[in-house]
Structure 1
Amino acid sequence: MKTFEELGVSEAIRRAIAELGYENPMPVQEEVIPYLLGVGNDVIALAQTGTGKTAAYGLPVLQKVNPDDRRTQAVILSPTRELCLQIAGDLKEYSRYIDGLHVLAVYGGSSIESQIRSLRKGAQVIVATPGRLIDLMKRGVARLDAVENVVLDEADEMLNMGFTESIDEILAGVPEERNTLLFSATMGKEIERIAKTYLRNYQEIVVGSRNEGAEKVNHIYYLVHAKDKYLALKRVVDYYPRIYAIIFCRTRMETQEVADLLIRDGYSAEALHGDLSQAQRDLTMQKFRQHRTQLLVATDVAARGLDVEELSHVINYGLPDDVENYTHRSGRTGRAGKRGTSISIIHIREKGKVRVIEKVIGKEFEAGTLPEPQEICTKQLYRVMDELERIEVDDVQIAPFLPEIYRKLEWLTKEDLVKRIVSREFGRFLNYYANAPEIVQPTATRNGKKGERNENKGERRRAERQNGPRQAEAGYKRLFINLGKRDNYYAREIINLVNRYVKGKVQIGRIDLTTNCSFFEVPEAEASLVIQKMAKAKVGERRVVVDSAEREQASAGNRGGKERHGRTKRFEADASPRDMKKKWKKEAAPEREGKKKKRHEDWRQFFE
């Protein structure tokens, strides 16, 4: 294994990276750095996230910059704001002992005026998102006529996000005599097109195999019914007490909804998606990196290129449409030589995607069985015991309080005290799993035959008809509210609305969301109070209706019955269906004819 000195890295940069803990170069760095230190060497480097790509291109790019020349000499493009800031931060650390070298991050969602002022002072290295860089180029502030190195980091994702035209415009605005460096986890057709158009005699450096998943990642999937996905997610998270994970969702709406549900159920979770402001996204990522947040629920775009150490798991709350996105997701874990786990919670229709991903990454998924409540409770109990054992006691600080504590608790035996401590730390899991909903995992063949899917679907529908609508948990009452997803009302909005109109803290249980309305559960003793207080509620000018779910369903059934039977009430009881149809057409004919004449008259007036 070579050293950074043998690779040709300068003393100033070696001193900086040694302080950051870089001892020996990683494989991608060993391959790329010597080549990029040359002149006129274009590169496509294919390597998974977390393999040291930033240092692989960052160290030679910084070393080739002339600090005495204030003009921009290197441009690094990234698909997202978070990755842009992360790259800029790393480059600043690498160049801390190079006097006069300035690295600037420019990206959307932040003040363009401050970025313009910084550019006018001079920045030899610009790290940018494509849209903001083009904006600055058009304003004449970002001058790229002295650029010698252009790096496209996460190039495949930039192309997937629709930045093809932007990249073409940027590359057309820099000198032809330059180095162009493409770093990507996968090699797609668009990457090859960019390479053929803008790279000259490029070398393809591959660490591992093309389009493979991270080497040290286990791939597991749990097959459940779509309605049970969140329940399955809770079991997975509870089964790993020290889990530190990113949960990937397909849409911003689903991301926020899952995060809200996890927060409601007592988990340390945050959402990360494009609807958040830059300040909110920065704060969310700061809390996650500092392990103050245990679960980050994110979209693919928002979490793209995030460099988070020690992720234990990546959880796919459903599989992405693009296999490349799965590769990037799973590459978040299993980094720096450590093992990681990529878990996918899927329903039957997604089974085929598993086979496709297996073929592309060259690895097989393990079909998992969801842990049983007893297993989960046992693991959580051991976690509590381990934490109690590891608590460091400061005898000096607590000594003044001990006599009063002993006096207060002297009536408790040692066994009673242990029971109370364990119940306090462990009670939430015991209470939930004592009556946890059963999750029936569907059975399907490897090919997921349509006949079996339809049979399972039919059985599910028959069970629902037989058992009736969902019943509230013991001690709770299920209420109806006339607000749903169409009104942009999700778990958090419903909780906030109830708390606004009902004084005191109302404990809200399960929340079920539909397009036009929702259902939520409250303790039976408080149900009447909630209905009474919510009678005054309004959203804008719209009156909010909250009522018992059973009463609302009965009312809907009666309305449906009147509508269904309203047409036939005029007909004799002994009339045949055919006679009834003829009579109905005859009686309705004058009304239809009148409507037809009016429609013709309206059209005639319109054309005149």
Structure 2
Amino acid sequence: MLKALRDVGYETPSAIQAATIPTLLEGRDVVGLAQTGTGKTAAFALPVLDRLDVSQKTPQALVLAPTRELALQVCEAFERYAAHLTGVHVLPVYGGQGYGVQLSALRRGVHVVVGTPGRIMDHLEKGTLDLSELRFLVLDEADEMLNMGFAEDVETILADTPSDKQVALFSATMPAQIRRLSQSYLRDPAEITVKARTSTASNITQRYLVVSYPQKVDALTRILEVENFDGMIVFVRTKNETETLAEKLRARGYSAAPLNGDVAQAQRERTVNQLKAGKLDILVATDVAARGLDVERISHVVNYDIPTDTESYVHRIGRTGRAGRSGDAISFITPRERYLLKHIEKATRQPLAEMPLPGVDEVNATRLARFDDAITEALADTERITAFRDIVAHYVRHRDVPELDVAAALAVVAQGETPLLLDPAAERPARPVRGDRPERGERPERGDRGERPERKNRRADGPPLVTYRIAVGKRHRVEPRQIVGAIANEGGLRRADFGAISIRPDFSLVELPADLGPETWEALADTRISGKLIELRLDDGPPRGGARRPRSDRPERSDRPERSERHDRPERSDAPAASDAADDRRARKPRHRSSQD
């Protein structure tokens, strides 16, 4: 492990590591109070790895994290620290990933499981995760887990594990609920408090852009168009993403190269030298690959994937603004990652300014300015200009074409097939015709949902809600927490986005925001609960007087009989309504699961 620590560049332990590692190695339970970004992942990962028995195939350590992003980061940290340990297997377990991958790994045998509470609970309920021989349990970001509605799941997991396990609980704050959890499930814990000393350079301008994941590539392209950058590092979370994004940028005409832990040292040195020499403009890198990178030419850092700890954020943006120069740091924040932005601002004590997505007019103005600069630069080469002037004059004399038209034609030849300017009409996506059924993942905008019911519920603390129907109900043995967990996790929703949930025999009704975006519809298209597709759709309300009549067969309002003529209307039965009302009351306070799991 010491060799692995040298490989990742660690020289001295952070305060939380120096205080926690010896205590955990002694076998004591620990309550660590530390802000995100103080290095607590290594504080618990290193003692756990040091005491693993690789001959045991059932899980020996379980790390609970509030979000899939944090779970993946912790898992990657374990793998880095165990790089030179033979036979150590670490498994991330989170919602959104197929069960098949997780089940196969569990059958083969894993030593460390890093997961979100909801998916861990699912495996425990299915009997696919055996925690009977668990020796270590870590609660990372415990306060965040409880704030996101995981309190009951966390306590259930704690109660379902061996009583003699060693527990480490890490939290940024110590609310009463965390104190009670510590007193109930930890044995005489050592309490360790460390204050973060995270700061960023004052010569770095820090901005952020709120953007959904599918829009990130286009957003980055527009930023590259309008920002006056010299060299740039774009940080992503995974090795595969470095390759994928670098390829997409090259396809758009930018000189970009990936830099990750799999890149051989010789290739890494060539890539960095190309960046220094100006032969390469953009590096797409992971945190580990960029550690220690010092290139004065880097004017911009883009956090394509925002880091989940502030220490990584500070290290990343520190790659710019070197040698007293000014630098720019731009972070992409998806709606579900706003809490990470608050963590960063609190830890660095510097607010990040929100920036708008560059518009078509701004991009076109930049392109025209660069086109003008290219002409000016070409005019300075008098020798070549003289030669081409004679050629153009010959063409004008013999073809009787105005010189301005010839100049425009030469610009067309130089530009090629790619238009010089963006079409402003492309800024606003075309809306589908009412009545046309959109393809999966291409749901219409709010104003185009002609059949949307008018029942809306605007809460004082949230967006307007409407009722949606999903194709799972009581006979599928679903509970409100499963519905909240699946929809929030796959659709990127928050706990506050849910209203009442009513579970009926064959379906359920869920109040959700009226303006679900296309990416949410697309993400929920393949979502399953209890193995069944939820088939989310807007609820049109119950039918009156028997089976629902197709819309095409319904009479126009003017053709409907007067109230006095409606003799066949059945008597309303109070029994079903009472039952439904009871369902509604029971579902008003569901055990919510976080949007991150």
Bigger relative CO (Cα 8 Å, ≥ 6 apart) = 2
TM-score after normalising by structure 2: 0.46
TM (normalized to structure 1)? Answer: 0.45
Choose between structure 1 and 2: higher helix proportion.
Answer: 1
Structure exhibiting the larger radius of gyration computed from Cα positions: 1
